[in-house]
Amino acid sequence: MKTITVFKGDGIGPEITDAVLDILKAAKAPLEYEIFNVGAAEYEKNGALIPDAAFASFEKTRVLLKSPITTPVGKGFRSLNVTLRNKYDLYANIRPAKSNAAVPTPFPNVDIVTFRENTEDLYIGVEYKMNDDTVQAIKLITRKASERIIRAAFDYAVANGRKKVTCVHKANILKMSDGMFLDIFREIAKEYQQIESDDKIVDNTCMQLVMYPENFDVMVMPNLYGDIVSDLTSGLIGGLGLLPSMNVGDDFAMFEAVHGSAPDIAGKHIANPTAFLWSACMMLEYIGETDVAANIRSAVDAVLAENQCLTPDLGGKATTEAYRDAVIAHLK
Ligand code: NAI
Ligand code: MG
């Protein structure tokens, strides 16, 4: 039995967490759960977005299934995601975008995994005023952070039978920073002769992605481009309800859907739990429970393919709970 930490979050967070935990239990995932209320509601009540006990649990279990949190608006308020990524050095943000036959889009053959560097670049948030009309922001690129994200992308390609890794950059303009990222990519690529490698400038990448998404496989890039380009890939497959992610470092891993707390539909029992469920599948794969993950993935595929029990975001009428029950009914 492995113990994992679960953050219930805000908005649709509790609904999709309950649905996902029910499915994990029905699939006999060999897990024990330490469950915490975190987020804006918890902040209102106890003055902390994440209680100390919740941090302590994650530090012990090292695996976190995190549902979305409403970011309270306030001066000087630090984003919870930035806090978690920095505190636990979750340097690789991995977002797989794969077409699903049940969700028609103009791009039926998308299967792209983005590796976004998660700790530096412009996101270190160092900006300062040079005078009243001029602000400077610092873009930080280090060899250490570049090497580990690039290596993570190639290791993933090898482990998952992928063919190609593409480095996305703007080294034609940012010759030193992105130039170093690209040089490191080319050095590391030599160690992975079995994997094809190439590189593309980020603006050209965006155009190519919407014209020929089937030409892309694994992509690796600095933080800012990763933020933007991974959202682009999510648009290609048709929706937030279907996008899982993992944030992983050497010691800790956090799994969450890409979407937010969806306050507009919270409490209505119509949220699509699939993105969070697939995040849970990535978690199961990470801890070696690949059979349980495969069982859940094929049950989801079957429910989506039948087209009978879809949540409203996918054009259906099913509640979160009806969808959950349909997935459970298809488990082997
Ligand atoms: P959002 O992703 O919560 O919602 C955008 C739209 O997509 C809404 O119309 C929503 O109903 C719909 N949607 C999202 N997830 C869905 C699902 N699973 N099923 C069906 N429909 C779904 O983005 P928004 O509205 O910009 O942000 C709301 C709150 O979430 C904000 O406080 C924001 O800061 C927070 N947020 C938190 C994140 C996290 O904790 N990782 C990530 C993104 C936003
Ligand atoms: Mg983003």
Collapsing DSSP to helix, strand or coil, 318 comes out as coil
In tens, the pLDDT along 161-192 reads: 999 999 999 999 999 999 999 999 999 999 99
Residues of the chain above pLDDT 90, percent: 83
Taken in order of first residue, the domains within the chain and their CATH numbers are 1-97+239-332 (3.40.718.10), 106-237 (3.40.718.10)
pLDDT of residue 275: 95
Collapsing DSSP to helix, strand or coil, 118 comes out as coil
Q: How far is ligand 1, taken at its centre, from the CA of residue 69, in Å?
A: 9
Specify the ligand 1 atom closest to the Cα of 80: 40
Distance from C-alpha of 249 to C-alpha of 264, rounded to nearest angstrom: 33
Entry pTM: 0.92
As a whole number, mean pLDDT of residues 64-90 equals 82
In tens, the pLDDT along 79-114 reads: 788 788 889 999 999 999 999 887 888 898 999 999
Specify the ligand 1 atom closest to the Cα of 72: 32
pLDDT of residue 74: 63
Nearest CA to ligand 1 atom 6: 262
Q: Nearest-CA neighbor of 323 among 295, 299, 290, 294? A: 299
pLDDT of residue 115: 98
Task: Name residue 254's beta-bridge partners.
Answer: 64, 247
Q: How far is ligand 2, taken at its centre, from the CA of residue 232, in Å?
A: 10
Specify the ligand 1 atom closest to the Cα of 68: 40
pLDDT of residue 44: 87
| pLDDT beyond 80 at 121 | yes
Model confidence band, residue 321 (pLDDT cutoffs 50, 70, 90): very high
Residue positions counted in the chain: 332
Q: Nearest-CA neighbor of 54 among 4, 7, 2? A: 7
Pairing of strands 31-36, 63-66: unpaired
As a whole number, mean pLDDT of residues 242-255 equals 95
Q: How far is ligand 1, taken at its centre, from the CA of residue 178, in Å?
A: 31
Q: What ipTM is given for this predicted complex?
A: 0.98
Task: Name residue 64's beta-bridge partners.
Answer: 5, 254
pLDDT of residue 88: 95
pLDDT of residue 56: 97
Nearest CA to ligand 1 atom 12: 262
Model confidence band, residue 283 (pLDDT cutoffs 50, 70, 90): very high
Pairing of strands 31-36, 253-257: unpaired
